[in-house]
Amino acid sequence: MSMIEHLGLAALRKIDPERAHGLALRALRLGLMPLPGPVTSPRLATRLAGLDLPNPVGLAAGFDKNAEALAPLSRAGFGFIEVGAATPRPQPGNPKPRLFRLTEDAAAINRFGFNNEGMEAIATRLAQRPKDAVIGLNLGANKDSADRASDFARVLERTRPHLDFATVNVSSPNTEKLRDLQGTDALRALLSGVMAISDTCPVFLKIAPDLGEAELDGIAAIAEETGVSAIVATNTTLDRTGLTSRHAQEAGGLSGAPLFERATRILAQLSLRTDIPLIGVGGISSAEDAYAKIRAGASAVQLYTAMVYHGLSLGAEVARGLDRLLERNGFSNVSEAVGTGREDWL
């Protein structure tokens, strides 16, 4: 982390978390953050769902909800970038405050509720995207929609020409009854509708960490049946076990370090149920964490919350550190390490 980034983080931690996030995005757009450029090597080069990634360390959805900082993010060292979530119509999300730092737990709780400027504004920005980056969009549904399942297809249809991949997000806990769409019949209908208009755009499915084995069985089967290209495991959790922060009981989804073990266990269990590529998310704050996700069964990883505490440079640092770990352990490419430590999590 550079001195500029260190001082900036210290200042941002003194103000409201959501306002701090907005200021960080503005600084990024204005070119005030140092950016490392591409991070890659023969060991890091990754093929995922037909996409060629310079490295397997991605930026998770939520950091750039409205696709406002695509150009600078493409130079931040990530192997791929996911923006959104986007809904058909703009929506303000839930009342503020709705984002809480849990500093003692290296975590965060949010209950944003898919606040975004809507698919038209986001599609306009995506049309101006850098062409040398891998960029995807997290698809969401309007809270007051009469047919939430169709919302996902509508957003994809509008933005598809500008995307390298799209992620169906039925796992956010912050829109009432959204997680009900993970049920067998509802998920099959939703994914079938999205896949019908996906054309050549790979479709990923993002799942919750609060799932039992029977639910994982059903999700894996439906993902294979409908032709999903990858499964993102996992979104935030409703569990609050072991937290010490004064914000621990705030409503919303918990992300960050406390999610790591739960999400990685789900990842490993899912890898036994399907050959669909998996993307490991939840609690990654170091190269060692990313390596553990890969050894548990992930072909790629994503991070976000840890940047609140370690800065935007974390993505490049994790990628470089992962490269060193792969070299140290005798892997010529990251794909060789996928699943080699799965048993540790079962």
Catalytic residues: 172
Write the CB contacts of 140 (distance below 8 Å, at least 6 apart in sequence): 84, 85, 86, 87, 114, 116, 151, 152, 155, 169, 172, 175
Closest to 277 measured CA to CA, from 345, 324, 224 = 224
8 Å CB contact between 30 and 273: no
Other beta carbons within 10 Å of 128? 10
Q: How many residues does the chain have?
A: 346
Going by DSSP bridges, is the β-strand pair 253-256/278-281 parallel, antiparallel, or unpaired? unpaired
- Integer Cα distance of 73 and 106 in angstroms: 23
Instruction: Tell me the C-alpha distance between 262 and 258, whole Å.
Output: 8
CA angle, 149 then 154 then 155, to 5°: 105
Q: What sign for the dihedral angle of Cα 129, 207, 228, 300?
A: positive
**What are 318's two structure tokens?**
């994790």
State the DSSP code for 174: T
Residue 60 is given by DSSP the state: P
DSSP code per residue over 133-170: S-EEEEE---TT-S-HHHHHHHHHHHHGGG-SEEEEE-
The encoded tokens of residue 131 equal 């062409």
Number of Cβ atoms within 10 Å of the Cβ of 73 = 25
CA dist., res. 64 & res. 115, Å (int): 11
**CA atoms of 235 and 198, how far apart (whole Å):** 23
